[in-house]
Amino acid sequence: MMFERRLAPSRAAKLSALAAAGMALLFSTSQASAETVVKWLHLETVPAHLKMWEDIAAKYESEHPGVDIQMQFLENEAFKAKLPTLLQSDDAPHFFYSWGGGVLKQQAETGALMDLTEAMRADGGAWEKSYNPAAVKGLTFDGRIYAVPLKMGTISFFYNKELFGKGGVKAEDIKTWDDFLKAVKTLKDAGITPIAGGGGDKWPLHFYWSYLVMRNGGQPVFEDAKNNEGEGFLHPAMIRAGQQLAELGKLEPFQGGYLGATWPQTLGLFGDGKAAMILSFEHTEATQRANSGDGKGLAIDNIGRFPFPTVEGGAGAVTDTLGGLNGWAVTKNAPPEALDFLRYLTNAENERLMASIGMLVPVAVGAEDGVTNPLVRAAADQLAASTWHQNYFDQDLGPSVGRVVNDVSVEILSGQMSPEEGARMIQDARELE
């Protein structure tokens, strides 16, 4: 599949299916008549978001006639599968979507990425200072910047207000983990599937274990484990998190066949009104709609949101947040025009536009007023009040440990592994790095 200068709306809707079919990804510059081609690789499937990216690129091209922005958008799993090989090939994109944490650090250590420090700190650091400092910090390792900030986000529960009403559950009553388990039981007793779960991709279920670790141990316990200090992942708070996860699993809270469900299918299930809750990203209102059977999904006024509950006796606070810090990593052979476009792509004006349609919580200084979607605004407000914002565990801990975290989360939830065994597996993986 080639990088394309333009994507027609009808084709944009087919991108996810094409990616899932495993078509070969090829980079082609021979077709471009422009002096410089900039190759952009991203994961995206929401039609409105695709159009926004395309409109921004078109405007830039109109102002820079010597540049051709060639875009390729893939579904999440196809993107992750193809990227490592591409980065080590002659067909590497010039810039691509990236998560902060250990994965980005490892990519930098392979020599595949461009060090952006000098570029972002030139002219008194004007480019670097145009973003939220926390965003830049999360994409910096050993004092060097390896990605241009795009957005921050937080994971929270979204719920179907109508199903909650039918089941006799009130979101405002869910404050603690015990409250949450009670709500799950109440919904099940009412014949309603409590939660849409995506076990096929595994990482969607690691959110539960991660949040339970945060709520039980707080930041010091996780930081010790991450740095191979103290009791690591064998700390009692880690074990307790696994026990609580197993307790949830025993209630069978997810839809039938959840262990094989992909994330798009899980979003679609929630969007089709077949599950009362989903633990998901800040832009869930848009993605549930795009993945629903009718393309409309739940109306925004039928979707509520609440933070992951606290645990009794835990050291973590409800204001501690788990979520993403995403940016654009630039490959080492990218032309200067790629950096110029990235500076344009992530400026306050464009981030404000993206925020206005619910795409993201912006990190560009001055773009905050673009957030109009009430659910995305709630995420932005939660992030603004965050006492500890933790990047996704599977990203922050690096690919090798992250894979084990995802596997263990699924196996504990499904009753295939004890919490103690899971903690030992993660600790072993960490020590082997």
pLDDT at 32 over 60: no
Q: Mean pLDDT, to the nearest integer, of 33-42?
A: 86
Give the tens place of pLDDT for each residue, 345-360: 999 999 999 999 999 9
Asked whether residue 299 carries a pLDDT value surpassing 70, the answer given is yes
The reported pLDDT for the residue numbered 248 is 98
* CB under 8 A, 24+ apart: contacts of 345-348: 345/56, 345/60, 346/131, 346/148, 346/149, 346/150, 347/130, 348/130
Percent of the chain with pLDDT over 90: 82
DSSP 20-74: HTTPPPB---TT--SSEEEEEEEE---HHHHHHHHHHHHHHHHH-TTEEEEEEEE
- Which of 159, 172, 176, 173 minimizes the C-alpha distance to 309? 176
The token pair that represents 399 in the structure block: 């690919």
Is the pTM here over 0.85, yes or no?
no
Closest listed residue to residue 91, CA positions, set 74, 73, 115, 112:
112
- Cα 259 from Cα 206, distance rounded (Å): 13
pLDDT tens track for 196-244: 999 999 999 999 999 999 999 999 999 999 999 999 999 999 999 999 9
Structure confidence by residue, pLDDT tens digits, 305-331: 999 999 999 999 999 999 988 999 999
Q: Residue 91: its pLDDT value, please?
A: 86
pLDDT tens digits, 364-391:
999 999 999 999 999 999 998 999 999 9
pLDDT score at 103: 85
The confidence score (pLDDT) of residue 19 equals 38
Residue 18: pLDDT above 90?
no
pLDDT of residue 349: 97
Contact 391, 100 (CB under 8 A): yes
Binned at pLDDT 50, 70 and 90, residue 77 comes out as confident
Are 291 and 264 contacting, i.e. CB atoms less than 8 angstroms apart? yes
- Mean pLDDT score of the chain: 91
Longest dimension (CA), the chain: 65
Distance CA 180, CA 201 (A): 24
